[in-house]
């Protein structure tokens, strides 16, 4: 077991760093409702399951694997450093990027229905980002009288701690617990106890390929008790022109966000990507029903990555796949949930039918695949 070392955030909140091993038996998921060793500062409890050295190792592994694969591909979580978080926040306000507005409209209309169906004492948010829309859920759950705690879980510590501090200012009675972690690896570290509503918003589940989403939903199901529930936000299939525009805005913010992954690799792995040497390309893959975001070499070039002692040649026109964003039908959501041990309790869309929010509960009879 790796020794725990105190960590300090820029906010002065303190917490603990632990191993990055999801299977570690360090007591962090002991079922007490708190994480062993976590400390609280000014109302904000912070736990880290990813710390700097893990980050470097994981990034190195993903970049080595991704750049030597054919086709070349990088996992999307590396977009999100402090700059990436800010750029994403800007994306959510772009005229072309409808998903955030549509999901907010659904929560505006139905947060009280959600709270009535699942009067949780703990709201957990995965991939929480700024947790802006989440306030609608917090308000509705508070109105039912039982809300005590909010757990925000995100891989980007800077956005997470900033969001946590804002929430404490607005909800002084709420215990706010920020968890820096990777939802593909650290779900077993989620604080347990009480009745939990687990929100996974923004269509982030669509950034995983089907096999990964299946594994994720099954792993989450295994962490949940019979009174817990999942609130899942998913973008829906629609006119491809609108879909492409949402990821290729006129102001170029999404292009900057896409290229930010190269800046992260340059800084953290000593690489020399020429950011302007890569164009932002968006493609609707109809067969797989997902948007693909790529970075395309605009000229022949060689990139060296010092930490990996690796040189990679790009010919003009070579692509690096940086993101998929799957689009769903309502039936598909229900089927994928059923296959992974979840029963749909209710499902809402916005009046235009652009986006869906689904409330699901653990199936009483899990399918064979989920046990
Ligand atoms: N839920 C917010 C933010 C969506 S953007 C909204 O609806 O607007 C996706 C968020 O998920 C980012 O904050 C990013 O840092 C986080 N994220 C991406 N991959 C992650 C991973 N593997 N583990 C934890 N968080 C992740
Ligand atoms: N979950 C968001 C989505 O798929 C993430 C996102 C929005 C995104 N715009 C992006 C990711 C642009 C990469 C690039 O819509």
pLDDT of the residue at 2: 38
pLDDT of the residue at 4: 39
Cα dihedral 248, 356, 152, 340, rounded to 10, equals -110
13 in Cβ contact with 46 (< 8 Å): yes
Q: Which 3 state secondary structure label does DSSP give 297? A: strand
- With vertex at residue 78, the alpha carbon angle to CA 326 and CA 48, rounded to the nearest 5 degrees, is 110
Would the pTM of this model clear 0.85, i.e. be above it?
Answer: yes
**Residue 106 structure tokens:** 């659904």
pLDDT of the residue at 52: 80
Question: Pocket around ligand 1: residues whose beta carbon is below 6 Å from it?
Answer: 77, 80, 88, 92, 100, 127-129, 154-156, 159, 182-184, 201-202, 204
123 in Cβ contact with 134 (< 8 Å): yes
Residues linked to residue 311 through DSSP beta bridges, in sequence order: 304
Domains in the chain: ranges and CATH: 54-94+239-326 (no CATH), 98-236+328-362 (3.40.50.150)
pLDDT of the residue at 20: 40
Q: Which residue spans within 201-277 are E strands per DSSP? A: 229-235
Distance between Cα 225 and ligand 1 center (Å) = 24
pLDDT of the residue at 21: 40
pLDDT of the residue at 41: 67
Q: Which residue spans within the chain are E strands per DSSP? A: 5-8, 14-17, 39-41, 44-48, 72-73, 122-126, 149-154, 175-180, 196-200, 229-235, 278-285, 290-297, 301-305, 310-314, 319-326, 342-349, 355-362
Looking at the CA of residue 128, tell me the nearest atom of ligand 1.
1
Measured between alpha carbons, how far is 114 from 104 in angstroms, rounded to an integer?
A: 13
263 in Cβ contact with 83 (< 8 Å): yes
Looking at the CA of residue 203, tell me the nearest atom of ligand 2.
1
Residues of the chain with pLDDT under 70: 1-42, 365-371
Looking at the CA of residue 246, tell me the nearest atom of ligand 2.
9
- For 227, phi then psi, to 5°, come to -95, -5
Which of the ligands is closest to the CA of residue 236? 2
Largest CA distance in the chain: 61
Distance between Cα 325 and ligand 2 center (Å) = 7
pLDDT of the residue at 55: 87
271 in Cβ contact with 74 (< 8 Å): no
Measured between alpha carbons, how far is 62 from 73 in angstroms, rounded to an integer?
A: 9
């Amino acid at each position: 077991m790796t020794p725990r070392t105190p960590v300090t955030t820029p906010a002065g909140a303190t917490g603990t760093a632990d191993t990055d091993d999801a299977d570690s038996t360090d007591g962090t998921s002991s079922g007490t409702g708190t994480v062993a060793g976590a400390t609280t500062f000014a109302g904000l409890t912070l736990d880290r399951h990813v710390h700097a050295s893990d980050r470097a190792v994981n990034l190195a592994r993903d970049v080595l694997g991704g750049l030597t694969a054919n086709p070349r591909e990088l996992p999307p979580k590396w977009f999100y450093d402090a700059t990436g978080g800010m750029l994403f926040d800007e994306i959510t306000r772009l005229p072309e990027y409808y998903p955030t507005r549509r999901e907010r409209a659904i929560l505006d209309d139905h947060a009280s229905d959600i709270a009535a169906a699942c009067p949780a004492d703990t709201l957990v948010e995965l991939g929480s980002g700024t947790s802006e829309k989440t306030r609608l859920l917090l308000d509705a759950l508070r109105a039912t009288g039982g809300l005590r705690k909010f757990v925000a879980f995100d891989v980007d510590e800077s956005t997470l701690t900033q969001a946590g501090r804002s929430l404490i200012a607005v909800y002084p009675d709420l215990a706010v617990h920020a968890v820096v972690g990777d939802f593909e690896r650290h779900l077993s570290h989620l604080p347990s106890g009480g009745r939990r509503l687990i929100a996974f918003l923004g269509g982030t589940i669509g950034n995983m390929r089907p096999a990964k989403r299946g594994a994720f939903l099954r792993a989450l199901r295994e962490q949940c008790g019979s009174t817990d529930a999942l609130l899942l936000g998913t973008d829906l299939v629609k006119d491809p022109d609108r879909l492409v525009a949402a990821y290729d805005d006129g102001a170029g913010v999404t292009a900057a966000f896409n290229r930010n992954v190269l800046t992260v690799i340059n800084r953290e792995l000593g690489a020399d990507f020429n950011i302007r040497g890569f164009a932002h390309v968006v493609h609707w893959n109809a067969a797989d029903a997902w948007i693909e975001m790529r970075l395309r070499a605009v000229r022949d070039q060689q990139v060296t990555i010092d930490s990996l002692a690796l040189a990679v040649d790009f010919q003009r026109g070579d692509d690096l796949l940086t993101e998929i964003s799957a689009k769903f039908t309502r039936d598909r959501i229900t089927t994928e949930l059923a296959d992974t041990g979840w029963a749909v309790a209710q499902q809402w869309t916005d009046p235009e039918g652009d986006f869906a929010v689904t409330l699901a509960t653990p199936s009483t009879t899990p399918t064979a695949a989920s046990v």
